[in-house]
Homo-oligomer: A and B are copies of this chain.
Amino acid sequence: MKIAVLGYGTIGSGVVEVLERNGESIAKRAGEEITVKYVLDLREFPGSPIEDMLVHEFSTIAEDEEVGCVVETMGGIEPAYSYVKECLLRGKSVCTSNKALVAKHGAELLEIARQKKINFLFEASVGGGIPIIRPLNQSLTSEEILEITGIVNGTTNYILTKMSQEGATFEAALKEAQDLGYAERNPEADVEGHDAGRKLAILASLSYGMQVDFEDIYMEGITKITDTDFKYAEVLGAEIKLLAQGKKVEDKFYAMVTPKMIREDNPLYSVRGVFNSILVKGNTLGDVMFYGSGAGKLPTASAVVADVIDATKHWGTNITTIWSSKKLALSDHKEAESGFFVRVPEAEEAKAREVFGEVEEVKLSAAAGVVGEFAFLTKKMSEKAFEEKAAKVTVLNRIRTEWTAE
């Protein structure tokens, strides 16, 4: 199998490295040797091991019939989408780590692959090296998936872990993440939940077999989470995590990315730092969880290479993936229900109790140094009901909770 790699950035160069390092066992698993014939990049890499394979024109790859599989690690929608589509139409399998591309055009590209009896694979697009796409497609096939909840953004999980463990403010934790290279200089895509939203679009589309559009997902980031919130979380035995959740509640489907408080009974509770984890709830299976490095050069590249091996093994046959281009009608997130942790000024305690009815007060010790507040947990209610009540008091902050008092 001759392959081409589109884009020699972090992941692309990782793919070349993994193929090199584990070449022997990869050939055994794939049933034949896998060699990189071309690397497409606009830059030059003089003296690098890929110097001889480097091309600057996509057409060189597209028109070479010897290339059976193309790895796309450029990122972004264009020109990735045009390139990938052309490769598939020309009968080349494609393996990609590009979540934006998969979230937006996954259904169409899978359909082309199906017609051409080749494969469009994207294990690395969610959760880096964690096997989650293939298990959803091939292992959890006997399940009706009721819920899929992921910690799928390492940057925000790193920041939240720092805030939890060291009492850092959001700003300080973000700065540290940036200094360590875990967060970008413009961190918006991560901290506002958009990266997690794209991954959720993919996970939910696969879980329910229909198109879930990124644009329809309700997203709330972590920028409003404060060190004070974490003081309360500690008292509650809770962690605050950015959860990407797809849920089926009776006939309704919800997809939301929001920071939530979770307790130790939730398997995601102990997922720390840049690690990712995805929890799937099936109707007969109960909970299963997949955990690992959600990003990073080699783990992500490893997942891409596993796809290349699968494409090689399945040369001439399409691996069924159920993802219709028909759009899944998501319910308004305001109908989704959860409990809420709420902080209001101390002076409004009586009013809050009146508005929210029965609440469970959350008290900090004096040593916490937080004064003049009344904090509490509500019963389970819809977002809409919460907003109506919240409008009647001065909400300092509110965080959804995964557990609720009955």
Report which A residues bind B (CB closer than 8 A): 17-18, 21-22, 25-26, 28-31, 123, 129-131, 134-135, 138-144, 209, 264, 267, 269-270, 282-293, 296, 298-299, 301-303, 305-306, 308-310, 313, 317, 320, 322
Residues of chain B with a CB closer than 8 A to A25's CB: 144, 209
Q: Is A282's CB under 8 angstroms from B302's CB?
A: yes
Q: Is B309's CB under 8 angstroms from A142's CB?
A: yes
Residues of chain B with a CB closer than 8 A to A283's CB: 21-22
Shortest A25–chain B CB gap in Å is 6
Q: Is A139's CB under 8 angstroms from B296's CB?
A: no
Q: Is B142's CB under 8 angstroms from A131's CB?
A: no
Residues of chain B with a CB closer than 8 A to A285's CB: 129, 292-293, 298-299, 302-303
Cβ 8 A contact of A28, one of B289, B305, B322: B322
Shortest A193–chain B CB gap in Å is 24
Q: How far is the CA of A91 from the CA of B287 in the complex (A)?
A: 35
Closest to A293 in B: B286
Q: How far is the CA of A141 from the CA of B309 in the complex (A)?
A: 7
Q: Is B139's CB under 8 angstroms from A134's CB?
A: yes
Shortest A31–chain B CB gap in Å is 7
Q: Is B306's CB under 8 angstroms from A140's CB?
A: yes
Q: Is B140's CB under 8 angstroms from A310's CB?
A: no
Q: Is A144's CB under 8 angstroms from B22's CB?
A: yes
Shortest A17–chain B CB gap in Å is 8
Residues of chain B with a CB closer than 8 A to A130's CB: 288
Q: How far is the CA of A253 from the CA of B223 in the complex (A)?
A: 48
5 A-B pairs closest in CB distance: A131-B139, A288-B292, A142-B305, A289-B291, A284-B298
Shortest A202–chain B CB gap in Å is 16
Q: How far is the CA of A76 from the CA of B72 in the complex (A)?
A: 47
Q: Is A22's CB under 8 angstroms from B142's CB?
A: yes
Q: How far is the CA of A230 from the CA of B9 in the complex (A)?
A: 49
17 CB contacts below 8 A, A to B, read: A22-B143, A25-B144, A25-B209, A123-B139, A130-B288, A131-B139, A134-B139, A140-B302, A142-B302, A142-B303, A143-B306, A269-B270, A270-B270, A287-B293, A289-B292, A290-B290, A313-B320
Shortest A303–chain B CB gap in Å is 8
Q: How far is the CA of A269 from the CA of B267 in the complex (A)?
A: 11
Further 7 A-B residue pairs, CB within 8 A, beyond A284-B301, A287-B291 = A22-B283, A131-B135, A134-B135, A134-B138, A140-B302, A288-B290, A289-B292
Q: How far is the CA of A308 from the CA of B139 in the complex (A)?
A: 10
Q: How far is the CA of A139 from the CA of B283 in the complex (A)?
A: 24
Closest to A309 in B: B141
Most buried by B among A17, A141, A292: A141
A142-B26 contact, Cβ under 8 Å, with A129-B286, A285-B299, A302-B282: yes
